[in-house]
Structure 1
């Protein structure tokens, strides 16, 4: 309580609180924007009703907090996001502008039913605002963007869906071979049950991946405040990992990040459910299990590597991988190409919006 009172007694402290509230707002929007990723197939195959599905997914979004904290033991993706921009070019106005841009783009794509990446929206906004603040990509020999953190994320715009597609193809072919003599009706009953498991696994991956991105943005804001406003010695000590100090002393931020994404998932996102569940390819319970399991595997691998990837891209690639086991034409490639354009444009468009928002913010 004393720390909170000290923060709100300063103008920069009030801006920090506004930034945290906006970040959690983005987290909530991320939840309902990306709800379709983990529930589209389970709703389309009628294993669960839409309401049951969002409750199921939201529960496992939140449970992912305990997996990250007690099983994995760290928040690698949050650390990556916090360090995606050189800390010398970060201030609270930069983070605020990046968040506003990300929220605007997320709401626009949600309204249009386009399954774009909340992750890349956030990253693009953060980088665009930082470049607007610095006035260039490089200042005094220093890169504004931390390319060592950002380049793997860019590569996985294509890497995550390709990995998901490859794993989904292998899983589907393996299941079809193993179950080639099974009774079709009994097999479908079992795969409907297994979809509950595969959907839960994917929701765990979604929560563990996406909640950490918001946590990373809040971490960047908190670290800036403690280093540049109140000069906290815990953050200024030589060789200290500032993000670890943040996680230790602001322990409620990771908890809130996972909670808000779960609450957002409860709000659903039915336009995108339709796109993901039926417009790319028709999905059976067997194929739903394969797609969700492949998506979950991809998310767990990338989380272990600390690479923020798009759950949207991942599950889309997995659904395509399932579709091509039937025949290439089973995939509606026109829809897929439209999605690809949305993926490619998300980071640069978010960055441009953030640049404009940053200049507006600086007028006040």
Structure 2
């Protein structure tokens, strides 16, 4: 059996850092519509979401097994490649958070790992058939399925309640949103927390600490669940604003329909081991809910920017992961250079974000037409 080295410890810590960014990047998936309709206060919403993400992390490990023994050859990958892939994923998460774009943390992770493995081990290090079956096809199908289901559910919700008192109907659906948003958070924990579990397990396998084909140990499940829960509680307010107010004007029946539809798709995929993007599923469901309500405004320009982010996520993260792997494979000095560069970029992104901060108090303000805050904007 292998031994714990400094590099292995560094990779585990970096993986948990990615899990944290995944949490605050994806809080919007579960809670954006509930916050937008007033069903939940912003701070209460992220607290509920964080707690249920932690619970969801313990419900299944099928997606973790897909990552730890599926998309890359675990006999060829090294901890330094995994470290480089994580850096690529974290950088993309931070950039898209700054822009307020709900891109896929999952695909950022997959892209980073694929790019780093390709550079470090060659084409034979990536199982492209598994990537196509478990990642690409679900990525194309899941937002469409969620959108159609949400559109149908929204239409039926308005038809069924058309003769009811509007205020009473709204209160009823807002109460229902508390349950449906909670289910999305639970489903998110069963899907996204597992991705970090898979990465850490892959690291332990590559270092010889675990045998090939092993599942995640209990402490990995707990650590990944806690990291994503903490990130969720921090609240990715920029992306919450985009999904709650930027795509369409959400009413409580639409929010309930979108959340319920997304939950169904996510839980089904987790059961089958498909590591899909909860961001894409929830965004598709919100768009479907917007289309399903007559006379609702759908802001297709915002949707177009989101789709562009989805298209570029995997290749962009792969490019950064590949470059990082080329440097990290040079040894301790290379790993140090990659780490310091990543920290510098992260600090710069945070500094830029403070020019026009988004937080719990202003998250329901209408987004401006420019996604990136102008330099002259004053800090709140």
Q: In the TM superposition, what are the counterparts of 1:284-323 in structure 2 within 5 Å? A: 284-323=251-290
Q: How does 1:96-135 map to 2 (within 5 A)?
A: 96-134=83-121
CA contact (8 A) 2:74 2:205 kept: no
1:150 partnered with 2:146? no
Taking the aligned partners of 1:147 and 1:312, their CA distance within structure 2 comes to 23
Question: Partner of 2:173 in structure 1?
Answer: 191
Spell out the pairing of 1:1-364 with structure 2 (5 A cutoff): 7-8=3-4, 13-68=5-60, 75-82=61-68, 83-134=70-121, 136-137=122-123, 143-152=124-133, 153-226=135-208, 235=211, 242-244=213-215, 247=216, 250-327=217-294, 330-363=297-330, 364=333
Greater mean deviation of Cα atoms: 278-287 or 79-88: 79-88
SS in 1 for 2:57: helix
SS in 1 for 2:3: helix
Aligned-partner Cα distance in 2 for 1:131–1:78: 21
TM-score, normalised with respect to structure 2: 0.83
Cα distance in 2 for residues equivalent to 1:252 and 1:218:
11
5+ residue gaps, structure 2: 334-380
Q: Deviation of residue 305 (structure 1)?
A: 1.3
For 1:54 and 1:88, locate their aligned partners in 2 and report how far apart those are by CA, in whole Å. Answer: 39
Describe the SS at the equivalent of 1:308. coil
Q: Distance in 2 between matches of 1:300 and 1:328?
A: 31
The answer (yes or no) to whether the contact 2:81–2:329 under 8 Å persists in 1 is no
Whether the aligned pair in 2 keeps the contact of 1:63 and 1:204 (CA below 8 Å) is yes
The residue that corresponds to 1:72 in the other structure is: none
Q: Distance in 1 between matches of 2:273 and 2:152?
A: 25
Question: 1:145 Cα deviation (Å)?
Answer: 1.5
In 2, the alpha carbon distance for the partners of 1:28 and 1:49 equals 22
The structural deviation recorded for 1:109 is: 1.1
Please state how far the C-alpha of 1:327 moved relative to its aligned partner. 4.6
1:71 maps to: none
- Structure 1 residue 174, shift from structure 2 partner: 2.2
1:238 corresponding residue in structure 2 = none
Aligned residues: 329
- 1:335 deviates by 0.8
Q: TM-score scaled by structure 1?
A: 0.87
Higher mean alpha-carbon deviation, 342-351 vs 84-93, is at 84-93
Cα distance in 2 between the residues matched to 1:329 and 1:43: 19
User: Which structure features the higher share of helix residues?
Assistant: 1
Deviation, structure 1 residue 184: 1.3
Q: Post-superposition shift, 1:100?
A: 1.0
SS at match of 2:162: coil
CA deviation map 1:59-89 (0-9, x unaligned): 1111113433xxxxxx110111112112233
Alpha-carbon contact 2:58-2:221 (below 8 Å) kept? no
Deviation at 1:147, TM superposition (A): 2.3
Aligned to 2:356: none
Distance 1:21 1:328 in 2: 48
SS in structure 2 of the partner of residue 89 of structure 1:
coil
Please tell me the root mean square deviation across aligned C-alpha atoms, in Å. 1.6
Cα deviation, residue 329, structure 1: 6.9
Identify the residue that residue 140 of structure 1 maps to in structure 2: none
Superposed displacement of residue 34, structure 1: 0.8
3-state SS of paired residue (1:330):
coil
Q: Distance in 1 between matches of 2:150 and 2:232?
A: 24
